[in-house]
């Protein structure tokens, strides 16, 4: 109840009633399960403003409103749900994650953080917590970059890490530009870009995410805290040759870019293995597109995407330079052409040590000494970390598999994650803590 309503009632204001809704994260995830289920790849495919993503975003609005939160969409297509209990005007304590997925991804990468954020708010409402500042839950747009090739699109635009011109011109595999797709969803493409006011209205960002990798299970802990994110980037490598007949063309007269692609894939593994173990280097070709793509035709062009990661920026640069050197040598030997475009590069991220310590202290009564682990996966929290205090909570993933339908966490651990997030948000919004 706000002060105006209380005055209009002419009576002493009653204590604010706890929300009638308690959001069970396991039930909420079950509710989302049919959305974007991919009958071809298996798992879930939810890409920026496709039907599944729109349904996920509608679920976010509905669920946030059912908790009495104010919902807005920012100029970069990110959704925000704010609990303004008490009307405090201080910058918000923010949490959340993303609702989009990789093609054929798992059920938790992204949605777990958004669902847990809303569930934690519902929990705090029900227990009568009065936050001393707003608590805000985010759904960041196109975190996986599955539609337009650039990860953390919404948070990078918000933070000013990408130019609006570049983003407007991005195209999806069907040839639609980001400008057209955004406009079709009611986002004015002329207004995308840095949003310093919105950023300044955030005191900190604490993202909860399913663990990617398997570090918590051997330690016997349901929840961990992130220390850092590996430096990482994506490169698009276009190999051109000469399309021809698979049967009629003599072997010594071929210019087959698929052979060069094979060398690139092999090199990615070999160069990563050969790098210093301390650099935690890894390189992957997970996507490849051949033109014309006939089983009885030598390809005229092959495009592949190289994902490379390592502890430090220079390690990634050295790894990619070595792989590209191998690709150029293989290309010269086959008489093919090579064009390499850097689609994204994210520098190494260190999460805020002070915020991480405060979250650890808030978790200690329930969970004891929570492990702190590095991660090889990129996150919106990593983008925001350059602009405001940011930290991450990970929920145990027993097999460590992610970006796959086999990704998982137990119901018990999912609920433990919400407990942890609620404990952290309560502590960060009590007594001027943020
Ligand atoms: Zn994610």
Summarised one tens digit per residue, pLDDT across range 387-431 is 999 999 999 999 999 999 999 999 999 999 999 999 999 999 998
Contact status, residue 425 vs residue 206, Cβ threshold 8 Å = yes
- Give ion ligand 1 contacts, CB < 5 A: 109-110
* DSSP 3-state of 301: strand
292: cis peptide before it, omega within 30°?
Answer: yes
The domain limits of the chain are 3-229+348-428, 231-346
Tell whether the model's pLDDT for residue 5 goes beyond 90. Answer: no
- Copy the structure tokens of residue 331: 């290309």
- Residue 179 CA, ligand 1 centroid: distance in Å: 24
- Residue 207 CA, ligand 1 centroid: distance in Å: 10
- Residue 113 CA, ligand 1 centroid: distance in Å: 8
Across the chain, what does the average pLDDT equal? Answer: 93
Mean pLDDT of 144-158: 95
Structural fold of domain 3-229+348-428? Aminopeptidase (3.40.630)
- Residue 151 CA, ligand 1 centroid: distance in Å: 10
- Residue 162 CA, ligand 1 centroid: distance in Å: 19
Separation of alpha carbons 156 and 190, rounded Å? 16
- Residue 265 CA, ligand 1 centroid: distance in Å: 25
pLDDT score for 87: 66
Class of domain 231-346: alpha beta
Tell whether the model's pLDDT for residue 280 goes beyond 90. Answer: yes
- Residue 229 CA, ligand 1 centroid: distance in Å: 13
pTM given for the model = 0.85
- Residue 381 CA, ligand 1 centroid: distance in Å: 10
- Residue 392 CA, ligand 1 centroid: distance in Å: 11
What's the chain's Rg over C-alpha atoms?
A: 24
Question: Which residues on neighbouring strands pair with residue 70, listed in sequence order?
Answer: 82
Rounded to a whole number of angstroms, the distance between the first and last alpha carbons of the chain is 24
Q: What is the pLDDT of residues 227-266, one digit of tens each?
A: 999 999 999 999 999 999 999 999 999 999 999 999 999 9
C-beta neighbour count of 368 within 10 angstroms: 9
Separation of alpha carbons 367 and 18, rounded Å? 26
Q: Which residues contact 91 (CB under 8 A, 6 or more apart)?
A: 133, 200, 201, 202, 203, 434
What are the strands of the beta sheet with 231-240, ordered from one edge? 282-291, 301-310, 231-240, 337-346
Helix (H), strand (E) counts: the chain:
14, 15
- Residue 260 CA, ligand 1 centroid: distance in Å: 32
Q: What is the pLDDT of residues 319-357, one digit of tens each?
A: 999 999 999 999 999 999 999 999 889 899 999 999 999
DSSP state of 201: T
Q: Furthest-apart CA pair in the chain: how many Å?
A: 93
- Residue 371 CA, ligand 1 centroid: distance in Å: 20
């Amino acid at each position: 109840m706000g002060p105006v309503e209380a005055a209009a009632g002419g009576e002493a204001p009653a204590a604010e009633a706890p929300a009638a809704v308690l959001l069970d994260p396991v039930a909420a995830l079950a509710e989302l399960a049919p959305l974007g289920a991919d009958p071809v790849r298996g798992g879930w495919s939810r890409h920026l403003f496709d039907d599944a993503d729109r349904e996920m975003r509608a679920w976010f609005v509905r669920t946030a409103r059912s908790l009495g939160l104010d919902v807005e969409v920012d100029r970069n297509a990110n959704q925000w749900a704010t609990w303004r209990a008490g009307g405090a005007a201080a910058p918000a304590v923010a949490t959340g994650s993303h609702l989009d997925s990789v093609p054929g991804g798992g059920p938790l990468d992204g949605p777990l953080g958004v669902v847990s954020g809303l569930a934690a708010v519902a929990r705090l409402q029900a227990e009568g917590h009065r936050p001393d500042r707003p608590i805000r839950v985010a759904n960041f747009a196109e975190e996986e970059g599955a539609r337009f090739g650039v990860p953390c699109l919404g948070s990078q635009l918000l933070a000013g890490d990408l130019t609006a011109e570049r983003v407007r011109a991005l195209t999806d595999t069907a040839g639609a530009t980001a400008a057209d797709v955004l406009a079709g969803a009611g986002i004015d493409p002329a207004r995308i870009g840095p949003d310093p006011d919105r950023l300044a209205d955030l005191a900190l960002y604490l993202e909860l995410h399913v663990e990617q990798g398997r570090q918590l299970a051997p330690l016997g802990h349901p929840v961990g805290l992130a220390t850092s994110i590996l430096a990482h980037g994506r490169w698009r490598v276009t190999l051109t040759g000469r399309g021809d007949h698979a049967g009629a063309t003599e072997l010594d007269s071929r210019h087959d870019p698929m052979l060069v692609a094979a060398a690139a894939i092999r090199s990615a593994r070999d160069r990563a293995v050969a790098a210093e173990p301390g650099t935690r280097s890894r390189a992957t070709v997970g996507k490849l597109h051949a033109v014309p793509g006939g089983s009885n035709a030598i390809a005229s062009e092959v495009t592949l995407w190289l994902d490379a990661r390592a502890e430090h920026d220079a390690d990634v640069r050295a790894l990619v330079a070595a792989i590209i050197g191998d690709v150029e040598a293989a290309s010269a030997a086959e008489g093919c052409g090579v064009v390499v475009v850097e689609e994204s590069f994210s520098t190494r991220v260190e999460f805020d040590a002070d915020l991480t310590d405060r979250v650890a202290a808030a978790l200690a009564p329930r969970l004891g000494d929570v492990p702190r682990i590095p991660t090889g996966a990129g996150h919106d929290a990593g983008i925001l970390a350059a602009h405001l205090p940011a930290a991450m909570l990970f929920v145990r993933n027993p097999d460590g598999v992610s970006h796959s339908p086999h990704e998982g966490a137990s119901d018990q651990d999912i609920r433990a994650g919400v407990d942890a997030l609620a404990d952290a948000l309560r502590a960060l919004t009590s007594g001027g803590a943020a």
